[in-house]
Structure 1
Amino acid sequence: MTETVSFGYADVAPEEKTARVGGVFTSVARSYDLMNDAMSGGMHRLWKDRFVRRVKPRAGEQILDMAGGTGDIAFRLAKSGAAVTVADINPAMLEVGVDRAQQRGIDGLVWTEANAETLLFPNRFFDAYTIAFGIRNVTDIPAALREAHRVLKRGGRFFCLEFSTTLWPGFAQVYDAYSHRIVPKVGKLLAHDEDSYRYLIESIRRFPDMPTFERMIADAGFVNTHVEPMLGGLVAIHSGWKI
């Protein structure tokens, strides 16, 4: 890793980013759905549906949903009959997910506190690895990608849903103004937390562009990498396979 990493627009020591990101998600855990609605205009629900369709979960498969604490992706995956393990570094996010699962009567999910960079799962254990809107908050992204590759079986598949930078002329400027000026104010109004929402928007701007992140996935050992942009790349589905 480099000596510093990005925390929004700031450059900080790696251990400081880990701690500060933890603070952000502890703060926003109970308003996470509101956060995603604010940043995407509610479209994150459609993007997640599309993401899970691309994963194509099947009954009996072992799937790891990383950074999936609140259960949004896991609940969708579990409908297939797959055995889903939900892992998140933040216990507050996991607590929200467990509560939501109980309210919905969803049983059978495994919930575990885990760091994406240093997973404790054995080699070649999972059929699929998913991570949605979580990879940009990881301190050492290459390490997390290598761990994803390690825990997947041969023939296993990696899928990542993440914000990126839209390439549509005009729309990019509109969304940039909306996200920087409006979203933090919405965060202050709905969640009483303007700073955390500001970080989340800034973290999108500092995340690698689509071609760069695709190369990072390949560098971790994945093949047949693919990027599926939506809204011109405002958000993208990245995928790769382990052989």
Structure 2
Amino acid sequence: MRTVLVGLGLIVAPAAALAGPAATGTDDSTFVRQSHRRAVFQFDQRFSILNGKVVGINGLKGGIEWRGRWRAGLGVYRLSGGVPTRIPQPLEFPAGTRDEVRFRYLAAYGEYVFIGNRRWELSAPLQLGLGNYYTKYYFPDGGVLRTNRQVLYMVEPSVAAHYRVFRWVGLGAGTGYRQVFASGEKPEDQISGYIFFGRVKLFLGDFIKVVRGHERLFSQRGLDQH
């Protein structure tokens, strides 16, 4: 039975410069064509609809951004709680048995910013994931049975955009599609489908510059279009 997976996510992305000079004529790191590299860390919390239930998928990503246009790294994700399945239970299981499907995966991601400026950007993220899923059964007498883990592969292309409200914080959104493949028995609870997410991005490197420079926290300095 097919099930659409829809996600709403919260991403916090602190970034700190690693090496290299800033773009010519300014030390502001908000311009998309900055020349230095910097580390990017993101807490990626997605809320999804799976089998008719709203669930969370917790994720943590870390990587490198360079030339203001390329980002790449690794992330880990896991379903925050089990989701009731839609498949029939084995006939020998007693009445009142609960079942939940669970999954987790490791993802390599890449992202290309194909248009943008100091204020906003439009990018194309892509994730390639490897993980597993299994089903847990909870019996009325307190017993628990977990099925063998099955390997999953997933590809998740998407399009994302964000707009800097202030130099150190921005709001964004994105949409895409998650396609899941299985190396063995395919999951009967389909977890492929369209995804949607929202973002709140904290640019820690710029926040530190604002604080150290005793600048106004809620100013538009550094976001002027030239």
Q: TM-score range by the shorter chain?
A: under 0.3
TM-score by length of 1: 0.24
**Structure richer in helix, relative to its length:** 1
TM-score by length of 2: 0.25
